[in-house]
Amino acid sequence: TVPNPLAAASSGGDDRAAREVFVGNTPPGTTEAVLVEFVNAAMKQVRLNTSDADPIVSCRMSSKFAFIEARTTQEAANLLNLNGIPFMGSHLKLGRPAKYTGPPTPAVTWQALMGMETPQELAVDTSTKNLRELFVGNTSPEMTEIGLKEFVGTAMQQMGLTNSPGNPVVQCRVNTRFAFVELRTIEEATNALNLVEIPFLGQPLKISRPVKYDGPQFPMMKWDDLLARHLTGELKILTAGAPTRILKLLNMLSPGDLASDESYNEVMEDTREECAEHGEVKAVVVPRGAQANGLPMQGIGNVYVEFADVDAAKKALLALKGRTFSGKIVDVKFYSEEKFENKDYSPDPPLIVTANGAIPANLAAAMASNSRGLTAAQLSTLGMGGLGGLGGLGGLGGLGG
């Protein structure tokens, strides 16, 4: 065990179970000293330590996992946000030990903190596979698993059908005349249905739900309609949510952009200058660091831009959405003016893109489970007051189709 004598005086024995964190997927040959030094440096990099002292008190190593003890319960809770951090070719898995009996601790992943793509093994809920899998018919022998996965994933990113950065296709199984693709989320699986009849290697792909699927159904577009809306710019607006004066830019920052005040200020200035070409910019916000309660600031990795009017925000969105920046495809969404004013950068519900418009996933789920439709008051309780004129299912056409 590697102790930290400077921090030992700060740590009591009674709360040790709440200060201990399990670290899985450690590479062979990892030593206690190296792991402690690495975790301490990572905590300080994203400002999750609560004082200048090293946050790790001690470490116990096994062959494939370790237990690290934090100096305080707050720093132990903050440590959970390092889940997925790259270390010597692996992604460390941080979580509460089995003996922990305290309340659930809200946390994100290291990739979310850094504005990076989350590794598939951390991002996918395996219990929902039957809702995330799609059948792909009319394939040809020339189509490989890698080729089909990259083709579908790239098409979805370029069309704005994804809800987070990176390729949304997790797995692909190819047979002679058909294939099955597994998407990252339920919502992205639904969005992929808009690619029906997209041509690939001379074949129009037939994308549909598998026979075993028993979830909700929505009217979807076909590839020609989707492409036509993309070429006019309509699709960029449609897939960005309800228009507001606030834009949220995703998948634009790299880890180094938040590491120092100099690089952080450069991001702020460059973003303001770029967005000002499309209208008056009132504010640029790039969250970083920790909240008053010690938890990571919500929205880390995103950039929020407030414009003077909605038209300017739309112009900027059309110019920025889908652009490649440092090798990454930038996504842009409209963001709630009320949440922005309250400095609330919590994630919005993912969007489901249908033939009748884009629907927030929480609203879509309620619609699917309510055969009588939803009233404006019911929509308001879901946080969709701005769409109140939709009424129930019959009003879907007014979403922007």
User: pLDDT (tens digit, 9 = 90+) per residue, 365-389?
Assistant: 666 554 334 444 443 444 333 332 2
135 CB-contact burial (10 Å; exposed 0-12 / middle 13-18 / buried 19+)? middle
Q: Which two tokens stand for residue 109?
A: 């992943």
Task: Work out the angle between the directed axes of helices 145-159 and 223-232 (0-180°, nearest 10).
Answer: 40
Rounded CA-CA distance 276/306 in Å is: 11
Q: Looking at residue 51, what DSSP letter applies?
A: S
Residues 6+ apart with CB under 8 A from 182: 129, 132, 133, 134, 169, 170, 171, 172
The pLDDT, as a whole number, for residue 328 is: 76
Show contacts of 109-112: CB within 8 Å, 24+ apart.
109/81, 109/83, 109/84, 110/42, 110/81, 110/82, 110/83, 110/84, 110/85, 110/86, 111/84, 112/81, 112/300, 112/301
Q: How many CB atoms lie within 10 A of CB 291?
A: 11
Per DSSP, 334 falls in state E
pLDDT tens, position by position, 15-46: 888 999 999 989 888 999 999 999 999 998 88
Convert the pLDDT of each residue in 254-285 to its tens digit: 766 777 888 889 989 999 999 999 999 999 99
Check if the beta carbon of residue 279 is closer than 8 Å to that of residue 312: yes
DSSP assignment letter at 34: H
Residue 250: C-alpha distances to residues 19, 218, 221 (Å): 33, 27, 25
Whether residue 234 has pLDDT greater than 90: yes
In the predicted model, what is the mean pLDDT of residues 80-87?
88
Residue 192 burial (CB count, 10 A): 27
The DSSP annotation for 239-258 comes to: TT-S--SEEEEES---GGGG
* Residue pLDDT, tens place only, 164-180: 777 899 899 999 899 99
Q: Residue 21 in 3-state DSSP?
A: strand
Average pLDDT over residues 239-263: 85
Do the beta carbons of residue 225 and residue 354 sit within 8 Å? Answer: no
The span from the CA of 47 to the CA of 57, in Å, is 17
String of b and e for 369-391 (b: at least 16 CB within 10 Å)? eeeeebeeebbeebbbebbeebb
Burial 263-279 (b: 16+ CB within 10 A, else e): ebeebeeebeebbeebb
**In contact, 81 and 108? CB cutoff 8 Å:** yes
- How close are the terminal C-alpha atoms of the chain, in Å? 62
Tell me, rounded to whole angstroms, the distance of Cα 9 from its chain centroid: 39
Amino acid identity of 245?
A: R
Q: Which residue has the higher pLDDT, 288 or 212?
A: 212
Total residue length of the chain: 401
